[in-house]
Structure 1
Amino acid sequence: MASDTGTLNTLSDALVKAVEKAGEATVLVNARRRMPASGIVYAHDLIITADHVVERDEDISVRLADGREINASIAGRDPGNDLALIRLAEAAASPAEKVNQDTRIGQLVIALGRPSEEGIEASLGIISAIGGPVRTGRGGMLERYLRTDAVPFPGFSGGPLVDTEGRVVGLNTSGLAHGVAITIPAFLVWSDAENLAKFGYIKRGYLGIRSQQVELAPELSKALGREQATGLLLVTVERESPAETGGLIVGDILVAIEGQATPDHDALMVHLSGDKVGKSLSLQIMRGGQPKTISVVIGERK
């Protein structure tokens, strides 16, 4: 019994330290008419939060962990994935630390928020599901998302989900699925924040095609050398588009990009994220019943 008590005390102490550490980088964001929301310190003068809680571009204030209140303004938005970057009027905060390894189902996590001047709030749980890619209710595409049974109290949107060492696992939001809170993984949040800091918006990749999902005949799957039930039939290839320049033609069936299957439109959209713009990707197609590989430089959607 004493050993069990000692183990629980050790775990409890670890959780307290995790909350204290991550709490220093969890802020209150006052950018809407009703109750404030939360945010994560991304850089000394930048806060990443949920887009749906930022109802105005100016007259924003951020309350730091030490109680200081600093004026801020919008630096960029990704409404499709419910992320917004806020710039502080002065460099005044210490950035959060994010995890550098994959999360696992069953992993202990803590949802944090700073929804009021009373201080940090926390809720303990586990990662209960990992999914994606998924199209969001705001028109975006998430490569991956997390679900947790940690309770997201009011005002937690924009705040972090952290591990037992206080490192950010992701950003919590209730703005992507009606009535359901999900967590955007840290690697996607940080990537978005980097692009928002540079450009003020998120670049979207562009191929210049219209496609429809089609079933692959058994002989086509056999020619591919793997089991794949569907692909994307190109019904339109725009003139002078990246697709046409790369050699794609109407009637080609797109089956993979960079070795990853493209059985549907959502799988294609994962490869058209902003970080792919300007890069040459290897596209595997079926043409005349035979597999063929074509390189295409991804353009930027205007």
Structure 2
Amino acid sequence: MTTLSTFSDELADAISRSTSAVVALPSGRLTLSGVYWRPGIVVTTVDVRRCRGEITLMTSDGEVKPASLVGADPGTDIAVLRVDATDNPMPELADLDALRLGHLVLALGRSNDGSAIANCGILASLGGAWQSWTGGHIDRLIRPDIRPFPGFAGSLLLDTRGRALGINTTYSRGREAVTIPATTVERVVDQMLQGGRVTRGYLGVGLQPVELNPQLKQSLNLGQDIGVLIVSVETDSPAERGGVLIGDIVLTLEGSEISSVQALRAHLSPERVGQPITARTIRGGQLIELTLTVGER
């Protein structure tokens, strides 16, 4: 019993250490949390754009402060706010490389009236980099087995020492929890503060996976089964300027097999903007190579 009580106290202490860094963003029916991430900077989810009128936040001591939107990135579901504060509390960032499947994690948010809300669960899924359902690059998969509560969006995910793992959001119509890792949040904050938005690579094409005909595979000596069909090309886009035509089938980019839309988009990282990229495609039953310059969206 003493051991259980001690463990319970340790969890309460972990939450207590970060409570002052978590704020409420009250806005009528919308219940949203935010986290002081840097001096004068609060991060939350892009839902903050639905706030009616001016954006305000409520601190842990009940103080209401105005905030301005620096930028919002639907790809990562992260929004960045600026607040008139320089000595605000900030959570310590955890070492994400130390995470293991099954680790106990804590979610900490606030309700519309500013009350702190906490929940806990285990890490149900843990994996590498992935692309969000809205096209953003997320550094790694962190999915806690925690049922979302009012104020979960924009809340903080903590390890058992009270260190920040990332910012919580939801998917599947708000029924499932997922965490945007702290490394991704850091990257988005950097880009937002520098330019007010997140840069992404862009080709300007509509895409659809397509199974390759066995006879075509044999005639071209291909080992892959699926390519990506170009179904549309935007006018004056990087793809059009590079010679891409509707009906082309993309097989590889920079030598890497492309068998899904997600695989192609994964090659359009911010670092690729302005850089040439080699596409191996099928056109009219023949293999051709195109050099495309990745644009910026």
Do they superpose with TM above 0.5? yes
* Band of TM-score, shorter chain: 0.7 to 0.9
Superposed displacement of residue 28, structure 1: 1.6
Match of 1:196 among 177, 192, 208: 192
Separation (CA, whole Å) in 1 of partners of 2:95 and 2:254: 23
Superposed displacement of residue 159, structure 1: 0.7
Superposed displacement of residue 126, structure 1: 0.9
1:104/1:270 CA distance change after superposition, 3 Å: farther
Give the equivalent residue in structure 1 for 2:84: 89
Gaps of 5+ in 1: none
DSSP-derived class of the 1:96 partner:
coil
Contact in 2 for aligned 1:58/1:73 (Cα 8 Å): no
Give the equivalent residue in structure 1 for 2:133: 135
1:241/1:116 CA distance change after superposition, 3 Å: closer
State the TM-score, normalized to the length of structure 1: 0.77
* Code of the aligned partner of 1:242: P
* Corresponding position: 1:178 with 2:173: yes
Contact in 2 for aligned 1:111/1:151 (Cα 8 Å): no
DSSP-derived class of the 1:19 partner:
helix
Counting matched residue pairs gives 289
* Code of the aligned partner of 2:88: A
Superposed displacement of residue 207, structure 1: 0.9
Separation (CA, whole Å) in 2 of partners of 1:235 and 1:58: 41
1:290/1:167 CA distance change after superposition, 3 Å: farther
1:65/1:77 CA distance change after superposition, 3 Å: same
Give the equivalent residue in structure 1 for 2:38: 43
1:215-271 deviation digits (Å, cap 9, x = unpaired): 13567499566xx43111335555654335556566543234456543222332333
Give the equivalent residue in structure 2 for 1:111: 107
Match of 2:204 among 189, 205, 208: 208
DSSP-derived class of the 2:273 partner:
coil
* Corresponding position: 1:154 with 2:154: no
* Corresponding position: 1:18 with 2:14: yes
Superposed displacement of residue 104, structure 1: 3.9
Contact in 2 for aligned 1:57/1:73 (Cα 8 Å): no
Separation (CA, whole Å) in 2 of partners of 1:294 and 1:147: 39
1:295/1:44 CA distance change after superposition, 3 Å: farther
Contact in 1 for aligned 2:24/2:114 (Cα 8 Å): no
Give the equivalent residue in structure 1 for 2:50: 55
Contact in 2 for aligned 1:284/1:291 (Cα 8 Å): no
State the Cα RMSD in Å: 3.5
Superposed displacement of residue 172, structure 1: 1.8
Separation (CA, whole Å) in 2 of partners of 1:48 and 1:212: 35
Gaps of 5+ in 2: none
Give the equivalent residue in structure 1 for 2:226: 230
Separation (CA, whole Å) in 1 of partners of 2:222 and 2:36: 46
State the TM-score, normalized to the length of structure 2: 0.78
* Corresponding position: 1:101 with 2:99: no
Superposed displacement of residue 109, structure 1: 0.9
* Code of the aligned partner of 1:37: L
DSSP-derived class of the 2:123 partner:
strand
Separation (CA, whole Å) in 2 of partners of 1:230 and 1:248: 19
Superposed displacement of residue 85, structure 1: 1.6
Contact in 2 for aligned 1:73/1:87 (Cα 8 Å): yes
Superposed displacement of residue 78, structure 1: 2.4
